[in-house]
A and B are shown apart, each in its own frame.
Chain A
Amino acid sequence: EPEVTQTPSHQVTQMGQEVILRCVPISNHLYFYWYRQILGQKVEFLVSFYNNEISEKSEIFDDQFSVERPDGSNFTLKIRSTKLEDSAMYFCASVRVSNEKLFFGSGTQLSVL
Protein backbone atom coordinates (compact mmCIF):
# COMPACT_ATOMS: atom_id res chain seq x y z
CA GLU A 1 0.00 0.00 0.00
CA PRO A 2 1.34 3.51 -0.77
CA GLU A 3 2.52 5.56 2.17
CA VAL A 4 2.77 9.17 3.26
CA THR A 5 6.28 9.74 4.57
CA GLN A 6 7.27 12.28 7.20
CA THR A 7 10.63 13.53 8.41
CA PRO A 8 12.02 13.83 10.95
CA SER A 9 10.33 11.32 13.24
CA HIS A 10 11.41 13.34 16.27
CA GLN A 11 12.31 17.00 16.57
CA VAL A 12 13.52 18.71 19.72
CA THR A 13 13.78 22.47 19.69
CA GLN A 14 14.14 25.42 22.01
CA MET A 15 11.22 27.74 22.60
CA GLY A 16 11.25 30.58 20.08
CA GLN A 17 13.06 28.62 17.41
CA GLU A 18 11.68 27.89 13.97
CA VAL A 19 10.97 24.33 12.90
CA ILE A 20 10.05 22.83 9.56
CA LEU A 21 8.26 19.52 9.41
CA ARG A 22 8.41 17.69 6.12
CA CYS A 23 6.00 15.39 4.36
CA VAL A 24 5.85 13.59 1.06
CA PRO A 25 2.20 12.83 0.24
CA ILE A 26 1.18 9.93 -1.96
CA SER A 27 2.01 10.86 -5.52
CA ASN A 28 -1.46 10.92 -7.13
CA HIS A 29 -3.18 12.58 -4.18
CA LEU A 30 -4.60 16.06 -4.53
CA TYR A 31 -5.57 17.11 -0.99
CA PHE A 32 -3.00 17.48 1.77
CA TYR A 33 -3.49 18.04 5.47
CA TRP A 34 -1.67 18.69 8.69
CA TYR A 35 -3.15 17.43 11.93
CA ARG A 36 -1.69 17.49 15.40
CA GLN A 37 -2.22 15.34 18.46
CA ILE A 38 -1.21 16.46 21.93
CA LEU A 39 -0.31 13.46 24.07
CA GLY A 40 -3.42 11.58 25.15
CA GLN A 41 -5.79 13.84 23.27
CA LYS A 42 -7.68 13.71 20.02
CA VAL A 43 -6.40 14.34 16.52
CA GLU A 44 -6.95 18.02 15.70
CA PHE A 45 -7.15 19.54 12.25
CA LEU A 46 -4.69 22.32 11.46
CA VAL A 47 -4.82 23.06 7.75
CA SER A 48 -5.81 21.66 4.38
CA PHE A 49 -4.10 22.39 1.08
CA TYR A 50 -5.42 21.94 -2.42
CA ASN A 51 -4.38 23.26 -5.80
CA ASN A 52 -1.35 24.99 -4.30
CA GLU A 53 -3.22 27.00 -1.74
CA ILE A 54 -4.73 26.69 1.70
CA SER A 55 -8.33 25.58 1.40
CA GLU A 56 -9.20 25.59 5.07
CA LYS A 57 -7.51 26.21 8.41
CA SER A 58 -8.47 25.89 12.04
CA GLU A 59 -8.17 28.38 14.88
CA ILE A 60 -4.98 26.62 15.94
CA PHE A 61 -3.32 27.56 12.65
CA ASP A 62 -2.39 31.13 13.53
CA ASP A 63 0.22 33.47 12.05
CA GLN A 64 3.03 31.38 13.50
CA PHE A 65 2.17 28.53 11.16
CA SER A 66 2.63 28.30 7.43
CA VAL A 67 2.56 25.57 4.82
CA GLU A 68 4.31 25.21 1.54
CA ARG A 69 4.54 22.85 -1.37
CA PRO A 70 7.92 23.97 -2.69
CA ASP A 71 8.16 21.34 -5.40
CA GLY A 72 6.03 18.58 -6.87
CA SER A 73 6.49 16.20 -3.97
CA ASN A 74 7.17 17.87 -0.62
CA PHE A 75 4.60 19.46 1.66
CA THR A 76 6.00 21.34 4.65
CA LEU A 77 4.68 22.81 7.87
CA LYS A 78 6.66 25.66 9.38
CA ILE A 79 6.27 26.95 12.90
CA ARG A 80 7.96 30.32 13.02
CA SER A 81 8.55 30.77 16.74
CA THR A 82 7.75 27.66 18.70
CA LYS A 83 5.98 27.73 22.05
CA LEU A 84 5.90 25.10 24.76
CA GLU A 85 2.29 24.31 23.88
CA ASP A 86 3.30 23.42 20.33
CA SER A 87 4.74 20.18 21.68
CA ALA A 88 2.70 17.43 20.02
CA MET A 89 2.72 14.74 17.39
CA TYR A 90 2.18 16.29 13.97
CA PHE A 91 0.62 14.12 11.31
CA CYS A 92 0.61 14.83 7.61
CA ALA A 93 -2.19 13.22 5.59
CA SER A 94 -3.29 13.06 2.00
CA VAL A 95 -6.22 11.87 -0.05
CA ARG A 96 -6.82 11.54 -3.75
CA VAL A 97 -10.23 13.14 -3.63
CA SER A 98 -12.23 14.22 -0.62
CA ASN A 99 -14.56 11.68 1.01
CA GLU A 100 -12.09 8.89 0.39
CA LYS A 101 -9.72 7.11 2.71
CA LEU A 102 -7.34 9.56 4.36
CA PHE A 103 -3.77 8.26 4.53
CA PHE A 104 -1.72 9.40 7.51
CA GLY A 105 2.03 9.64 7.74
CA SER A 106 3.84 8.15 10.73
CA GLY A 107 4.11 11.55 12.38
CA THR A 108 6.75 13.91 13.73
CA GLN A 109 6.98 14.13 17.49
CA LEU A 110 7.84 17.76 18.24
CA SER A 111 9.19 18.62 21.68
CA VAL A 112 9.62 22.28 22.55
CA LEU A 113 11.85 22.89 25.56
Chain B
Amino acid sequence: GENVEQHPSTLSVQEGDSAVIKCTYSDSASNYFPWYKQELGKRPQLIIDIRSNVGEKKDQRIAVTLNKTAKHFSLHITETQPEDSAVYFCAAIFSGNTPLVFGKGTRLSVIA
Protein backbone atom coordinates (compact mmCIF):
# COMPACT_ATOMS: atom_id res chain seq x y z
CA GLY B 1 0.00 0.00 0.00
CA GLU B 2 0.95 3.65 0.06
CA ASN B 3 3.93 4.34 2.24
CA VAL B 4 6.15 7.19 3.37
CA GLU B 5 9.59 6.38 4.72
CA GLN B 6 11.33 9.00 6.86
CA HIS B 7 14.97 9.25 7.94
CA PRO B 8 16.61 9.70 10.34
CA SER B 9 14.43 8.83 13.32
CA THR B 10 16.53 11.05 15.59
CA LEU B 11 18.80 13.97 14.75
CA SER B 12 20.96 16.10 17.02
CA VAL B 13 22.58 19.29 15.78
CA GLN B 14 24.44 22.17 17.34
CA GLU B 15 22.64 25.47 17.49
CA GLY B 16 23.29 27.39 14.30
CA ASP B 17 23.95 24.30 12.19
CA SER B 18 21.60 23.00 9.50
CA ALA B 19 19.30 20.02 9.78
CA VAL B 20 18.06 17.88 6.92
CA ILE B 21 15.29 15.29 7.12
CA LYS B 22 14.48 13.06 4.16
CA CYS B 23 11.37 11.18 3.08
CA THR B 24 10.61 8.83 0.25
CA TYR B 25 7.19 7.88 -1.04
CA SER B 26 5.88 4.94 -2.96
CA ASP B 27 3.29 6.31 -5.39
CA SER B 28 4.45 8.39 -8.34
CA ALA B 29 0.97 9.94 -8.54
CA SER B 30 1.47 11.69 -5.20
CA ASN B 31 0.96 15.42 -5.58
CA TYR B 32 1.04 17.09 -2.18
CA PHE B 33 3.80 16.89 0.44
CA PRO B 34 3.43 18.77 3.73
CA TRP B 35 5.77 18.86 6.71
CA TYR B 36 4.46 19.06 10.25
CA LYS B 37 6.17 20.03 13.49
CA GLN B 38 4.89 18.52 16.70
CA GLU B 39 5.95 19.67 20.13
CA LEU B 40 5.43 17.40 23.11
CA GLY B 41 1.75 16.96 23.89
CA LYS B 42 0.65 19.31 21.14
CA ARG B 43 -1.08 18.92 17.80
CA PRO B 44 0.92 18.64 14.56
CA GLN B 45 1.42 22.07 13.04
CA LEU B 46 2.00 22.58 9.33
CA ILE B 47 5.30 24.36 8.75
CA ILE B 48 5.70 24.10 4.99
CA ASP B 49 4.25 22.19 2.07
CA ILE B 50 5.06 21.61 -1.56
CA ARG B 51 3.10 20.44 -4.57
CA SER B 52 4.31 18.17 -7.32
CA ASN B 53 4.58 20.95 -9.90
CA VAL B 54 7.28 22.70 -7.85
CA GLY B 55 10.83 21.55 -7.10
CA GLU B 56 11.65 23.76 -4.14
CA LYS B 57 9.93 26.07 -1.71
CA LYS B 58 11.43 28.28 0.96
CA ASP B 59 10.04 30.12 3.97
CA GLN B 60 12.69 31.98 5.95
CA ARG B 61 14.89 29.32 7.60
CA ILE B 62 12.83 26.41 6.32
CA ALA B 63 12.93 24.91 2.83
CA VAL B 64 11.54 21.82 1.18
CA THR B 65 12.88 20.18 -1.97
CA LEU B 66 11.09 17.62 -4.09
CA ASN B 67 12.62 15.15 -6.54
CA LYS B 68 9.72 13.54 -8.38
CA THR B 69 11.91 11.21 -10.40
CA ALA B 70 13.50 9.74 -7.30
CA LYS B 71 10.25 10.06 -5.31
CA HIS B 72 11.79 11.80 -2.37
CA PHE B 73 11.43 15.13 -0.62
CA SER B 74 13.48 16.77 2.08
CA LEU B 75 13.10 19.36 4.81
CA HIS B 76 15.99 21.75 5.36
CA ILE B 77 16.25 23.92 8.46
CA THR B 78 19.10 26.42 8.50
CA GLU B 79 20.53 28.32 11.47
CA THR B 80 18.80 25.99 13.89
CA GLN B 81 17.64 27.32 17.25
CA PRO B 82 16.71 25.46 20.45
CA GLU B 83 13.03 26.17 19.77
CA ASP B 84 13.31 24.10 16.59
CA SER B 85 13.60 21.04 18.83
CA ALA B 86 10.50 18.91 18.17
CA VAL B 87 9.31 15.89 16.22
CA TYR B 88 8.96 16.55 12.50
CA PHE B 89 6.66 14.48 10.31
CA CYS B 90 6.59 14.36 6.55
CA ALA B 91 3.38 13.34 4.83
CA ALA B 92 1.98 12.74 1.38
CA ILE B 93 -1.32 12.57 -0.40
CA PHE B 94 -1.14 9.73 -2.85
CA SER B 95 -3.93 10.50 -5.25
CA GLY B 96 -7.19 12.36 -5.55
CA ASN B 97 -8.97 12.74 -2.25
CA THR B 98 -7.05 10.11 -0.30
CA PRO B 99 -6.04 11.11 3.23
CA LEU B 100 -2.60 12.22 4.29
CA VAL B 101 -0.18 9.40 5.06
CA PHE B 102 2.51 10.30 7.59
CA GLY B 103 6.08 9.21 7.98
CA LYS B 104 7.27 7.87 11.33
CA GLY B 105 8.75 11.17 12.43
CA THR B 106 12.17 12.59 13.22
CA ARG B 107 13.01 13.79 16.69
CA LEU B 108 15.21 16.85 16.23
CA SER B 109 17.27 18.09 19.15
CA VAL B 110 19.08 21.41 18.81
CA ILE B 111 21.83 21.68 21.36
CA ALA B 112 22.65 25.15 22.61
Which residues on A are within 8 Å of B, measured CB to CB?
31, 33, 41-45, 48, 50, 55-56, 91, 98-99, 101-102, 104-107
Of the stretches B42-50, B54-62, B76-84, the one at the interface is: B42-50
Interface centre among A41, A48, A91, A99 (most CB of B within 10 A): A99
- Count residues of chain B with CB under 8 A from any CB of chain A: 23
Would you list which residues of chain B between 3 and 62 have a CB under 8 Å from chain A?
Answer: 31-32, 34, 36, 42-46, 49, 51
Which residues on B are within 8 Å of A, measured CB to CB?
31-32, 34, 36, 42-46, 49, 51, 89, 93, 96-105
CA A107 to CA B38, docked complex, whole Å: 12
Interface centre among B44, B46, B93 (most CB of A within 10 A): B44
Interface pairs A-B: 3 shortest CB-CB: A98-B97, A104-B43, A43-B102
Query: Closest A-chain residue to B97, C-beta based?
Result: A98
Query: Closest A-chain residue to B31, C-beta based?
Result: A99
